Amino acid sequence: MSAMKSGKYNAIVLSIALFIVFDAGVLVMNFYIADQFARDAVQVNLAGRQRTLSQRLIKALLQTDNALGSGNFIETPLNELKAGYRTFDTTLNAFNKGGTITGVDGESVSIEAFSDTRSRRLLTDTLETWLPLQEALQPMLAFDSKIERSAELIMTDEGANLESDLFHAIMVASKDNRDNRLLKLTNDLAVHLEYESARRATRLRIIQVTGIGLALINFFVILFHLIRNLNKYDAMIEIAKKETDDILETVTEGLFLLDSEYRIGSQHSAALQDIFRRENLAGVNLIELLRGIVPETTLNVARDYISLYFGGRVNENLVDDLNPLNEVEVHFAGDGSQFQTRYLGFQFRRVLVDQELSHLLVTVNDITARAALERELQVSRARSTAQLDMLMDILHIEPEVLTDFLCGSERSLGKINSILKRSAMGVEVYRAKLDQIFREIHAVKGEASALGLNSVVGLAHDIEDLITDVQERPTISGGDFLPLTIKLDVLLGHIQSVRELVARLVDFRLVFDRSKIAEVADDQRAAPRTDMSALLHNLTERIAEEQGKRVNLHCVGLEGKHVPEMYRGPVKDMAIQFIRNGVTHGIEGPEDRLVANKGQVGRIAMKFVPLGDGNFEFSYRDDGRGLDMDLIRNTAVDKGFVSADQIEAMEDRAVMALIFKRGFSTSTEVSSDAGRGVGMDVIRNLVNELSGRVRVSTARGEFTQFKVTLPAIPRDMDQAA
C-alpha cells in the first residue's frame, strides 16, 4: 500500500525537486551576476572618473601656469592638480594590479586588476601614454603650494623652476593632447567597461529568462502530471465507489461499521434501512435504534455483548460462539396497536487498522422465515411429545367412544363458560354459579375416569379443588373465578389436543385397515360403534382394582341403541356416578364380604328398560353393605345440613333423600372417584333436568337400589334423535 503510494507520488516529487533546482540555479546565478554587476558599476564609474580626471589634470596644469604667470595665487589650481594626479594615478595602478582606492562617492572600494584582454590592452596603452605626463608632473607634486603670493613667487628661483616645469609639463600634455590620446584611452576604457557590463546584464537576463522558462515548463509539467494523475485517481476512486455502492445497494444483508460509541458509520447497505424500517441510519446509535423494538433485557444483553468486542483482550472466536444476538426477536409497530415480529441475526467482526481496533463490521440478516420455521418445529416437537404421553392415556379407548366423550366434554365446558358469562353479580349468584360448574365438571371427570383418561381427570379434579376452595370463602368476588377460568382454558386446550390426536389416529387406522378390509367380516362392520356397557365395565374394573375390591357388573339394555339418543348422555352420566359411588361406598372389600357370608365378588346390576306407559326405567342395584342410616344422620348433622332435632324427627325416607344434597358425603377422604359428595347431586340434577324421578331402597348389609323413572320422549323429538 505504502509502496504504491510512493510510486504514485514519485513523478510529482521529482518535478517539484526540479522546479526547486531550477529556481535555486537562477537565484544563485542572479546573486553571482548581481555581485559582478556591482563590481562592473564601480569599475565603469572609476573609468569615467579617469576620463574626467585626464581633462581636469590638463585644466589644473594650465590654470596653475596661468596663475603663476599673472601673479595670482597658485594654491588652488596646484592643489587641484595634485589631487587629480593622485586619484588618477592610484586608480590607474589599481586597474593594473588591484587594490583599495577611494571611490567616486568618497568611500573606499576594493577592485581587482583587469583580467580581460581588451581591458588589459587599453590599460597598457593608457599607462604608456600616462607615463611621460606622470614624470612631467612630478616637480609640481613636490612643490610646496603654501607660498602665499604668486607675484613674489615668480621672482624666486623656485617660482622660475616651477614655471619651467609647468611649461615642460604643458608641452608634454600638449603633445599628448594633440590627438587627445589619454582622453581617448580613458574614454575607450570606460566605454569598454560599460559594454562588458551591458553584456553581462544581457547574459543575466538570458539566464534568468531561461531559468524561469524551464521552471515554468516544469511547473506546467507538474500541473499536467498532477491533473492527469488526479483525474486518473478520481476515476479509480469513482469506479471503486461505484462498485462499493453497487455492493451496498444490492446486498441483502444489513452491512455497516460500528464505532466504540455504538454509532453506525456513514456507509451502510440499503438493505439495512429495510431491515430496520427506518431511513438516515448513518450516525445513529445502534442501542437507541433497538430501543422500542426489543425489550429492555435484550437491550442490556446487546450492549454488554458488543462491549466485549471493544474490550480488545477477549478472543474474537470465543465471543462469536457466545453471540446472544444471532437470533433477536424484534417487534415493529404494525397496523393499529399490533406488533409485527421479525427475527434478526447479528454477526460482528473486528476491523483492525495498524493492529488497532478501529470498528466492528456488523452484518444483520432478517432470519424471520428460518426462525419461524424453527419455532414451528419446536412447537410441533413439543406437541408431539405431549401427544405421545397422551397416546398412552388414550390408546386403550376406542376412538369412537373417545370422540363421543370429547364432544360431550366440550359441550359441558361450553356450558360452564356460559355459566361464567352470565352477567349477574353477588355472592349468592356466584355460589350458585360455582355449584353449577361443579356438577358439570364432576360429570366430565366421572366419564373421563370411566374411560381412564387420567389427564382429564386430573385437570377436572383441579377445577373441583379450586371451586371447593372458593366456596369455603366467606365472600366471593368475580375475580376469585379467574384461576377457574384459566384452568377451564387449559382443560379446553387439552381436550382439543386429544381431539387432534384422535383425528390423527383415526386417519392412521383408516389407512392401516384398508389393507385388511377384505378380511373384515360384514357383521363386524355392522357392530355398534359405541357401547356404553363396555365403558361402564371398564370403569367398574378400574375403580374396583384401585379400591382392592372385586366387582362383577351386569348390564341390561345399555348396549347398542336400546337407550334413546336423547337419554344416552344423561343415562351414561348417571350410570357412571352410580358405579363410582357403589364401588367406593357400597361394595365391601373381599374380606368383609366373606365375614358377611357373601361371595368375594360384589355384584352390580344396571338395567334400562322401557315401561309399558312409554316411560323408561333406569335402575341400579348392588349387593353391598346398603345405606348406613345412622352414618347418614350423623353426617347430615355434622355437616350442618340439618340440626340434631330435625334429624330425630325425620323418617328414613327423608334421611335417604339427604344423600342427594350437594356436598353430602359420608366418606372422610376425597379421591378422584368419590368423597366430595357431588355424585348424587349430579344424578339428582340430571333427573330434575329430564323431569324424571328417583327412588332409593336399601337393606342394611344386603343391597342398595336406585330406580330412575324417565318420562316418555315426545314423538317429534324421538324422530329428531
Partner 1 sequence: MDETDLKVFIEGATHFFSHMGGEPAEIGTPYLASNCNSEVKGFTGIIGVTGKRRGSVYFTAPSVLLKVLLITLGEENTSHENMCDMVGEVANVISGNARKDFGSDFLISVPIVVVGRLDKIVVPPELRSFVVPITWKSYDASLVIALE
Residues that bind partner 1 (CB under 8 A): 292-297, 300, 331, 333-339, 341, 417, 420-423, 425, 430, 433, 477-479, 481-483, 485-486, 488-489, 492-493
Query: Which of 524, 444, 432 minimizes the C-alpha distance to 471?
Result: 432
Each as own residue / partner, the long-range contacts of residues 432-440 (CB below 8 Å, 24 or more positions apart, any chain) are 433/481, 434/467, 434/470, 434/471, 434/476, 435/662, 437/463, 437/467, 437/484, 438/464, 438/467, 438/662, 438/678, 439/662, 439/678, 439/681, 439/682, 439/685, 440/412, 440/413, 440/415, 440/416
CB of 481 to partner 1, least distance (A): 4
Taking the least distance from each CB to partner 1, the nearer of 341 and 530 is 341
Estimate the crossing angle of helix 2-69 against helix 181-250, to 10 degrees: 160
CB of 337 to partner 1, least distance (A): 4
Taking the C-alpha atoms of residue 307 and residue 279, their distance in angstroms, rounded to an integer, is 25
CB of 347 to partner 1, least distance (A): 24
Taking the least distance from each CB to partner 1, the nearer of 433 and 549 is 433
Handedness of CA 263, 269, 271, 277 (dihedral sign): positive
Give the CA radius of gyration of the chain.
Answer: 69
* H-helix or E-strand spanning residue 617: strand 616-622
Taking the least distance from each CB to partner 1, the nearer of 153 and 484 is 484
Burial class (CB in 10 A: 0-12, 13-18, 19+), 57: buried
Taking the C-alpha atoms of residue 345 and residue 367, their distance in angstroms, rounded to an integer, is 6
Taking the C-alpha atoms of residue 499 and residue 410, their distance in angstroms, rounded to an integer, is 10
Taking the C-alpha atoms of residue 299 and residue 686, their distance in angstroms, rounded to an integer, is 59
Handedness of CA 118, 120, 125, 129 (dihedral sign): positive
CB of 302 to partner 1, least distance (A): 13
CB of 330 to partner 1, least distance (A): 9
Taking the least distance from each CB to partner 1, the nearer of 45 and 341 is 341
Q: How many residues does the chain have?
A: 721
From the CB of residue 431, how many other CB atoms can be counted at a distance below 10 Å?
A: 14
Taking the C-alpha atoms of residue 466 and residue 433, their distance in angstroms, rounded to an integer, is 13
Taking the least distance from each CB to partner 1, the nearer of 139 and 483 is 483
CB of 490 to partner 1, least distance (A): 8
Taking the least distance from each CB to partner 1, the nearer of 25 and 483 is 483
Query: Which of 443, 308, 340, 459 minimizes the C-alpha distance to 390?
Result: 459
Taking the least distance from each CB to partner 1, the nearer of 76 and 341 is 341
Instruction: Give the position of cell 592610484.
Output: 90
Taking the least distance from each CB to partner 1, the nearer of 481 and 567 is 481
Taking the least distance from each CB to partner 1, the nearer of 482 and 699 is 482
